[in-house]
Structure 1
Amino acid sequence: MDGVDLRCRHPSRLPNDGEYCPAVADKGDTLSLVEENVPGQARRVPHLFLELECDRPLVGPARWRLVGIEQVRVGRGGARRSKVASKVLSIQVPDGWMSVEHIEIRHVDGGWIARDLGAKNRMLIDGQAASEAELSNGDLLQLGHTFFRFRTDVPDVGPATVDFQGLEGVGPLSTLSPAFGAVVERSAAVARGRVPVLLVGESGTGKEVLARNIHAQSGRRGALVPVNCGAIPPNLVESELFGHKKGAFSGASHDRPGWVRTSDGGTLFLDEIGDLPATAQAAFLRVLQEAEIVPVGGSRPEPLDLRVVAATHHDLKRLVREGRFRHDLLARLDGVTLRLPALRDRTEDIPLLLVLLVRKVAPERPDLRFTPAAGQAILQYRWPLNIRELEQALAGALALSPSGSIEVAHLPETVVGTEEPEPPRELTPEESKHRDELVLLIREHGGNLSAVARVLQKGRTQILRWVARYGIDVESMRS
């Protein structure tokens, strides 16, 4: 399925004072999500994401860059909209469970402090009620039935505000993630060339979807031919890839073109290229070098118009060092490398993926809702199997809730927290430094968190949240 082009009504800037900025993305010109080819080179700045409205999950998410903002105010309104005035970002959401003035987030001494404004339904941060707390990277805020995510590690690229509400043309490559947006934009830039593309990412991150989009934008007349290198029987690899002549071996009763020849004039997508056997690696290297193929049992080279997109979840350089992958083949395949982020690093896109799934398996459910507990479970789960796992979980939940809201009971046990799928994510350098300082203080005070809170001039609840986030074993430090 091809992605859609998106357009943002405002360029990459902060709105003028008093200007309402829905910045609704719609069909049209390409939405420029990146200003640099490599997002890792961009500075990291704080953003606020609206990830999910439980009562309107198909409306879509939004994001706001907080550069130049001193205060954020969030409350209930008749429609979802935002404006900036005098360095204050005001956000309104039509959530009946929110108060008109629900919370404020202030930029204080380099940090961001969230404060409940006396709302009837208190602010929850990572599931815990809080009157006031300093926000940390990745914190999930629940306001009424709406979830926001605060992040400090977002590349400073793209528009200041992007809001997907009202967008009917959401495609599989639509994104609020600057990191994934950069990947999509780079893939479009190389699509019409013949340079090989290597897609690297965990299983289920959408490598085949991106490969199909590259082919769709390439202008090549032939088909995209997907090949799972790890699923070919070892004794048939060369025959399946390169074809064979009649009588080439026992059972070869007729000529067969093979997948490489079938992709002539189109795109050959080699999924799990790291699993390609060594003998086939050598033969395929020659195909890439000479742009021609010799079928098994044949003697005359046949010219090819070949474009290769390969994908892997392996570290191919490590496989080269271990002698399991040819370095010269890697050099041929690695024309442009695109690294797809894991779903846990782009949770803001979960509502967009939800829209696609509902459209696919339950188009009759435009009034779909989530209970807040189910919404929190989906947004806090790590999704080790990425988009594929999300699709299966939501498909199952839709089947178990033919009408009404999706509840926690409709979700898999792993998602609701009864199983631990993987260790916590890798900390950013800033978080690692903060964790080390916190561990030192806790050890100095014999595990007394109240004493640590007094030293840091923070509430004990805040210290508990940090301890949970960083996985600190306080009991081992108690005197």
Structure 2
Amino acid sequence: MTRKPISLGTTQDPVREERRAQPLARPFLFVVLHCDQPALGGARYCLSEIDVVDIGRGPERVASRVREANTRRLDLRLPDGTISKTQARLVRSGHGWTFEDAGSRNGSFVNDKRVRTVALEDGDFIELGNVILRYRAGLPSSPASAGDLDLESPAVGGFSTLVPPLADELDTLMRIARAPIPVLLLGESGTGKEVLAGGVHALSGRTGPLVAVNCGALTASLLESQLFGHVKGAFTGAIRDEPGYVRRANGGTLFLDEVGDLPMPAQAALLRVLEESEVVPVGGTSPIKVDLRVVAATHKPLDKMAIRGELRVDLLARLSGHRHMLTPLRDRIEDMGILVRDLLRRSKVPGAPELGFTVEAGKLLVQQRWPLNIRELSQTLGVAAALADGPLIESAHLESVHLESAHLESAHLLAPSHETIAPPEPEEERGTAPDELRGRILALLEKHRGNVSGVARDMGKSRVQVHRWIQRFSIDIDAYRA
């Protein structure tokens, strides 16, 4: 993904340039999933400068922008034998869009309902043959993320996305990855923090290895030995020199997974390493210099933990060079095609990469809320691939997972508020960028001293909705009440 260069000519107004770079809400059409050919991944097309979208069959997925008289047209071809040569079209209607079936042989469906003409609403799914598309009325996007994008080929691990606001965030992380800056990956469990950490290391250009540490598995008695290593004879059982995790990562990246579970003694010891760039192995007398880059990840609210004294504030400051919040799967369903493609390619189930889906199975995939995120999707695909006895995964192969997912979602909705429980999908304010929405909530929390009822009243929203936003943006409400 490339970023357009910004001219620094002296005749330009810096304020105007900054405004021009701000994300704008733009309409998009996404190719979410080729059910019978998931290896094709997905694509996005910006509709902000288009009047008509013509969709039909072609030998490969390709989109062409054509200007005819006063009409700006996008011609989209999809490789599917069940789609007619002239299948359907989208027509701009005021500030919205209307879907029209063009008399196709097998018909067109919007949200599972066969239609001839229908006004599209944000989030509508369009089913044409074996292809599932999605219309989004207004997603925040910068000039860089507003362009058309076809993701048939995978990118660096964790950095593939079609969703414009997520693409902008990942573009920032991609630039950070090339600098010697600590990175803190936050978000719900199962959103792919370890994969993204691997992507950050791959982009860093560091020649050393990526060494992953499960912070919750560090034992108090062997803590320093595990992190910093030991010399032979340092204690009973130390029969040889061991470098420890930190020295193994020398020249590379130390990935601290679930850093929120790091025991307090380990926090102090790790802080010394980050401050001095050196370690003293257990039983050793001389410090050993280390050159490493730290990437940490957690699903826990570290700021709140620091306030409660469960995490050293100085350590949190050292880890928080750049914070990146991973998006839950329910908020990036447009990426289902590229996620399914990549997960099937990495599956250990024989034949999984060659499998496709029936349309009904594909619709189940995009209609789920996936409370356990990409980890749940990966397990689902593994089970379904093992059960499939033909070239296509059927909805029956997903039924048990579908029921389990519904059970988990109910548990999330009924559970008391807890920092590790994912909130239901928040209702976004139409046309509002996430950063702008977060800023407005912070200002109102300051105004009302943490009183959610006051915030909800000023925003014209329910208290439940405000609580969802607070959880989604990892806002520490207690700090405002204090």
Q: Same fold (TM over 0.5)?
A: yes
Alignment partner for residue 142 of structure 1, among 127, 132, 149? 127
Aligned residue identity for 2:218 = I
The superposition leaves residues 15-48 of structure 1 with CA deviations (integer Å, 9 ceiling, x where unpaired) of xxxxxxxxxxxxxxxxxxxxx99x9951221110
Alignment partner for residue 353 of structure 1, among 327, 339, 344? 339
Displacement of 1:149 after TM fit? 0.9
Secondary structure of 2:400's match?
Answer: coil
Displacement of 1:374 after TM fit? 0.0
The answer as to 2:385 corresponding to 1:374 is: no
The equivalent residue for 1:444 is none
Aligned partners of 2:156 and 2:199 also within 8 Å: no
Structure 2 counterparts to residues 13-162 of structure 1, below 5 A: 41-84=22-65, 85=67, 86-151=71-136, 152-156=138-142, 157-158=144-145, 160-162=147-149
Inter-partner Cα distance in structure 1 for 2:175 and 2:151: 24
The equivalent residue for 1:219 is 205
CA RMSD in angstroms comes to: 3.3
Inter-partner Cα distance in structure 2 for 1:40 and 1:331: 29
The equivalent residue for 1:235 is 221
Aligned partners of 1:224 and 1:263 also within 8 Å: yes
Q: Structure 1 residues 348, 292: closer, same or farther in 2, change over 3 A?
A: same
Aligned residue identity for 2:128 = L
Aligned partners of 1:316 and 1:330 also within 8 Å: yes
Displacement of 1:275 after TM fit? 0.8
The superposition leaves residues 403-443 of structure 1 with CA deviations (integer Å, 9 ceiling, x where unpaired) of 221101112523368724335410101299xxxxxxxxxxx
Structure 2 counterparts to residues 318-333 of structure 1, below 5 A: 318-333=304-319
Give the gaps of 5 or more residues in structure 2: 6-16, 414-423, 433-464, 466-482
Aligned partners of 1:75 and 1:91 also within 8 Å: yes
Give the gaps of 5 or more residues in structure 1: 1-5, 13-35, 433-469, 471-479
Inter-partner Cα distance in structure 2 for 1:110 and 1:418: 36
The superposition leaves residues 129-164 of structure 1 with CA deviations (integer Å, 9 ceiling, x where unpaired) of 344433232221112221001112242433632223
Inter-partner Cα distance in structure 2 for 1:260 and 1:160: 42
Aligned partners of 1:74 and 1:92 also within 8 Å: yes
Aligned residue identity for 1:106 = V
Inter-partner Cα distance in structure 1 for 2:382 and 2:74: 37
Aligned partners of 2:255 and 2:294 also within 8 Å: yes
Displacement of 1:261 after TM fit? 2.0
The equivalent residue for 2:454 is none
Aligned partners of 2:27 and 2:47 also within 8 Å: yes
Residues 307-316 or 205-214, more deviating:
205-214
The answer as to 2:378 corresponding to 1:391 is: yes
Displacement of 1:78 after TM fit? 4.5
Alignment partner for residue 244 of structure 1, among 230, 244, 248? 230
The superposition leaves residues 257-290 of structure 1 with CA deviations (integer Å, 9 ceiling, x where unpaired) of 2211222222111111111011211121121111
Q: Structure 1 residues 216, 163: closer, same or farther in 2, change over 3 A?
A: closer
Secondary structure of 2:408's match?
Answer: coil
Inter-partner Cα distance in structure 2 for 1:73 and 1:259: 56
Aligned partners of 1:63 and 1:162 also within 8 Å: yes
Aligned residue identity for 2:364 = A
TM-score, reference length from structure 1: 0.75
The equivalent residue for 2:455 is none
Structure with greater helix percent: 2
Aligned residue pair count: 402
Query: Identity rate of aligned residues, in percent?
Result: 44
Structure 2 counterparts to residues 74-473 of structure 1, below 5 A: 74-84=55-65, 85=67, 86-151=71-136, 152-156=138-142, 157-158=144-145, 160-165=147-152, 167=153, 173-361=159-347, 364=351, 368-415=355-402, 419-422=406-409, 424-430=424-430
Aligned partners of 2:154 and 2:338 also within 8 Å: no
Aligned partners of 2:64 and 2:76 also within 8 Å: yes
Displacement of 1:253 after TM fit? 4.3
Residues 171-180 or 283-292, more deviating:
171-180
Displacement of 1:246 after TM fit? 4.4
Aligned partners of 1:414 and 1:421 also within 8 Å: no
